[in-house]
Amino acid sequence: MKKRSWAEPYKIKMVEPLKMLSKQERLKAIKDAGYNTFLLRSEDVYIDLLTDSGTSAMSDRQWAGMMLGDEAYAGSRNFYHLEETVQNVYGYKHLVPTHQGRAAEHMISKILIKKGDFIPGNMYFTTTKLHQEMAGAKFVDVIVDEAHDPNSEYPFKGDIDLNKLQALIDKVGADKIPYVAMATTVNMAGGQPISLGNLKAVRELTQKHGIDIVHDMTRVAENAYMIQQKEAGYQDKTVAEIVKEINLLTDHATMSAKKDALVNIGGFLATNDPEVFQEARNMVVVYEGLHTYGGLAGRDMEAMAIGIKESVADGHQRARIGQVQYLGDLLLKAGVPIVKPVGTHGVFLDAKAFYPQLTQDEFPAQTLAAELYVDSGVRAMERGVVSAGRNAETGKHNYPKLELVRLTIPRRVYTQAHMDVVAESVIEVYEKAKEASGLKMVYEPKYLRFFQARFEKL
Ligand code: F0G
């Protein structure tokens, strides 16, 4: 059969014009932003690949849903639609909406963690780990070694290493481990999926010891698509079926609906445990709002319910992840060092390989994100030593093995031509990499420093 290309399963109804600054203006903008792409004005950005969080395009169905917002303080119709969707599509019994993912992380950490506990997880995520620590726990990375190697082609780099998990249980005792934190997909490893085979094994081991699984399901549908593509035995299952199968192996879930679920704001905590539900419903009124809106407008919950259903359609994921893979392939063909295999929500540049002349104390990934912006107005995000923060006990920098710059692709927003432009710019920055010098940090916030830290050129 002759090759048939695929295309996006939608057409464009509304456009948002882009602005492009001159190189001189970009040089000034990044300097004024303290060489931190989080501190740039969005209007000064040409193609915005900072994050896929809250940046996706909603469908006409979702926008129509916004008009059906029931803005009652209590008992909004949209809450019940969302609750039914979470039960039917995701398979969790109880729902507590929140304004975004970290609010759900805050609550589940407070509810399940006692001071002195340990939380094993498949690599850390910035906000997730901070909430675990603030609740009194120590995070322990139990992801497979392959996840820390940008060149390993292992297809399920999100998997948990069962030996590492067992070793932690043996060392600290199961009663000091309230739950395993399991993310689908693993953001900091490069958007890498877990396999169902591994999750089943983790489930078996944890159940034996009475340890729960908290599922960070922020990109679960993307993970499900990768399982369908790569894990033996799942080729004939739909993304929707695989999503449910994953969720049914876990006890609680935190969701940032700003990713998979195709909304600009929203999240939730879901659980199958009636007692955890009771506590979360009580806690949400302190931090977020009543348990039937959790910091969201009714219209936001409606858009989320519709977005969740759209997110588990095979055709949607094929185009979404297909676009990410397209960009990855362009860079691989040009010999640019990126995390392999290409993950689901972005392409991750290996800043250590770009700049062998820089030590991690000179912030190679922060430098690369700034250089890319200056070259073309493309905004990316540092995911290296700045994001990893400091060790809570020693106060020293954490030095992650992965020093990455993330080109994160919003869903349904940019075209293949935008991807071509991004690739051309990355290739040019790579060709000039020898000339780059690093940065020094001149302002460091106490929490989640990557968001607001400022730098100067060395
Ligand atoms: N978990 C994962 C895996 C995430 O990627 C994020 C957010 C969160 C939790 C927190 O959710 O932002 O709604 O509070 N990630 C964004 C990103 C910020 O750019 O990767 P939130």
Alpha carbon of 101 to ligand 1 centroid (Å): 6
Q: What is the mean pLDDT of residues 423-445?
A: 97
Nearest to 377, CA basis, from 7, 9, 24: 24
Kindly state the tokens that stand for 93. 């019994």
Question: Could you count the other beta carbons within 10 Å of the beta carbon of residue 185?
Answer: 29
Q: Is 258 in the pocket of ligand 1 (CB under 6 A)?
A: yes
Position 2 scores a pLDDT of 87
Position 82 scores a pLDDT of 98
Kindly state the tokens that stand for 182. 């399991």
3-state secondary structure of 389: coil
**Tokens 């990893």 correspond to what residue?**
388
Q: Kindly report, residue by residue over 77-100, the tens digit of the pLDDT.
A: 999 999 999 999 999 999 999 999
Please report which residue ranges of 291-363 form alpha helices under DSSP H: 298-311, 314-333, 351-354
3-state secondary structure of 166: helix
Most ligand 1 atoms within 8 A of CB, residue of 125, 345, 347, 450 to mutate = 125
pLDDT band of 4, cuts 50, 70, 90: confident
Q: Kindly report, residue by residue over 204-257, the tens digit of the pLDDT.
A: 999 999 999 999 999 999 999 999 999 999 999 999 999 999 999 999 999 999
Q: Is 376 in the pocket of ligand 1 (CB under 6 A)?
A: no
Q: What is the mean pLDDT of residues 56-73?
A: 98
Position 255 scores a pLDDT of 98
Give the whole-angstrom CA distance, residue 78 versus residue 66: 10
Alpha carbon of 401 to ligand 1 centroid (Å): 21
Position 5 scores a pLDDT of 83
**Tokens 């299952």 correspond to what residue?**
237
DSSP-derived letter for residue 271 is E
Q: Is 187 in the pocket of ligand 1 (CB under 6 A)?
A: yes
Alpha carbon of 189 to ligand 1 centroid (Å): 14
Nearest to 408, CA basis, from 346, 354, 455: 346
Q: What is the mean pLDDT of residues 105-130?
A: 97
Nearest to 289, CA basis, from 263, 266, 256, 260: 266
Give the whole-angstrom CA distance, residue 29 versus residue 27: 6
pLDDT band of 12, cuts 50, 70, 90: very high
Q: What does each C-alpha distance from 141 to 8, 255, 306, 390 come to in angstroms?
A: 37, 20, 35, 15
Q: Kindly report, residue by residue over 326-373, the tens digit of the pLDDT.
A: 999 999 999 999 999 999 999 999 999 999 999 999 999 999 999 999
Atom of ligand 1 minimally distant from the CA of 381? 19
Residue-wise DSSP of 1-23: --------SS------------H
pLDDT over 80 (residue 410):
yes
Most ligand 1 atoms within 8 A of CB, residue of 49, 187, 404 to mutate = 187
Kindly state the tokens that stand for 316. 């949607």
Average pLDDT, the chain: 97
Kindly state the tokens that stand for 246. 């994953």
Alpha carbon of 2 to ligand 1 centroid (Å): 41
pLDDT over 80 (residue 323):
yes
Position 6 scores a pLDDT of 82
Strand 378-379 vs strand 346-350: parallel, antiparallel, or unpaired?
A: unpaired
Give the whole-angstrom CA distance, residue 140 versus residue 144: 12
pLDDT over 80 (residue 1):
no
Nearest to 399, CA basis, from 408, 390, 409, 411: 390
Alpha carbon of 333 to ligand 1 centroid (Å): 30
Catalytic positions: 73, 125-126, 216, 259, 383, 450
- Report the nearest-CA residue for atom 11 of ligand 1: 101
Q: What does each C-alpha distance from 91 to 98, 108, 243, 339, 400 come to in angstroms?
A: 18, 18, 9, 32, 35
Give the whole-angstrom CA distance, residue 257 versus residue 269: 11
Specify the amino acid at residue 120.
P
Q: Is 346 in the pocket of ligand 1 (CB under 6 A)?
A: no
Q: Is 406 in the pocket of ligand 1 (CB under 6 A)?
A: no
pLDDT over 80 (residue 124):
yes
Q: Is 216 in the pocket of ligand 1 (CB under 6 A)?
A: yes
Alpha carbon of 200 to ligand 1 centroid (Å): 25
Q: Is 256 in the pocket of ligand 1 (CB under 6 A)?
A: yes
pLDDT over 90 (residue 142):
yes
Give the whole-angstrom CA distance, residue 303 versus residue 320: 19
Atom of ligand 1 minimally distant from the CA of 102? 14
DSSP-derived letter for residue 193 is P
Give the whole-angstrom CA distance, residue 74 versus residue 289: 10
Structural domains of the chain, ranges and CATH numbers in brackets: 23-52+314-457 (3.90.1150.10), 60-311 (3.40.640.10)
- Report the nearest-CA residue for atom 18 of ligand 1: 53
Q: Is 98 in the pocket of ligand 1 (CB under 6 A)?
A: no
